[in-house]
Homo-oligomer: A and B are copies of this chain.
Amino acid sequence: MNPTITAFKASPDRGRGLARDMRVRWALEEVGQPYDVRLVTFEEMKQPAHLALSPFGQIPTYEDGDLALFESGSIVFHIAQRHAALLPQDAAGRARAVTWMFAALSTVEPPLVERGMAGLLERDKPWFEQRQPMLEERARKVLRELSARLGEAEWLEGAFTAGDLMMAGVLFRSKPSGILNEFPNLAAYVARAEARPAFQRAFAAQLAVFQAASAAEGT
C-alpha cells in the first residue's frame, strides 16, 4: 500500500506549485516513494473527517497504514527519516538538516507569508501602502540573512538535505512576487532546486490536478 496524501481539489494557485502539498510530493519523489493523492474541497476540509486528520483544517496530510500525520514539516521529516536520500547518516549532520527545516518554517516563512497575505487581503485598504515598507523590510531581513549565510554554496550544508528541500520550498512560494530577484544567490539556489528531477516530477503531478480540474470545468 502506498501512503496517501491530501491536496487541494481546486488549488487557488492555479497549478503554480505554491500549495504546501508540493513539498511533500517533492520529498516523496526525492526518495522514490510512490504515493496516492486524495483531493479535498475547501468544504470538505472543514468537515470532521478531515479535521480528525488535520486539526487546523489544512492540507497536506499523510496516511500510511495506522499512521496519520499533518504539517508539511513533520511529513517531510518523516519521509526523510525513512530513506537515505534526504538526511545525512551522521547525527550531527541530521541535526543540522533538521535545524534548517525549522528555520525555513519558523523564521523564514512567517514574514514571507505575512507580506503575501497583506498583498492578497489588504491591497484595497487605505493603510496598505503605508504598511508595505515594514512588511517588505521584515521579509528582506530574513532573506538578506539567509543570503549572507548561503553565500556561493550550492546547498546549506554541503549535500542537498531535507533542510534545503524545505527552505527552497518556502522560497519558491515567494518567487512570483519578484522579491527573490533582489538576492541573486537565493534565486539561483531556488533554480537549482527546481532543476532537480524530483522537483519537476512533483511539480508536474500537482499541475496535472489543476489541468484536469480545468478540463472538467470546460466540458
**Interface on A for B, CB 8 Å cutoff?**
51, 55-58, 66-67, 69-74, 77-78, 92, 95-96, 98-99, 101-103, 105-107, 109-110, 113-114, 121-122, 125-127, 130-131, 134, 142, 145-146, 148-149
User: Which residue of B is nearest A97, CB measured?
Assistant: B74
Q: Most B CB atoms within 10 A — which of A74, A131, A149?
A: A74
Contact (Cβ within 8 A) B56 A99: no
Are A55 and B145 in contact, with the CB atoms below 8 A? Answer: yes
Q: How far is the CB of A175 from chain B (nearest CB, A)?
A: 20
10 contacts between A and B (CB under 8 A): A55-B103, A55-B145, A55-B149, A56-B145, A67-B92, A70-B103, A74-B101, A106-B109, A110-B114, A126-B127
- Which residues of chain B come closer than 8 Å to A95, judged between CB atoms? 67, 69, 74, 78
Complex interface: chain B residues within 8 A of A148 (CB): 51, 55
Interface of A, secondary structure class, is helix
How many copies, total? 2
A55 to B69 Cα, complex, angstroms: 30
Cβ contacts under 8 Å, A103 to chain B: 55-56, 70-71, 74
CB-CB nearest in chain B for A92: B67
With most chain B CB atoms within 10 A of its CB, the pick from A69, A73, A145 is: A73
Closest to A138 in B: B117
Chain B residues positioned under 8 Å from A56 (CB to CB):
103, 107, 142, 145-146
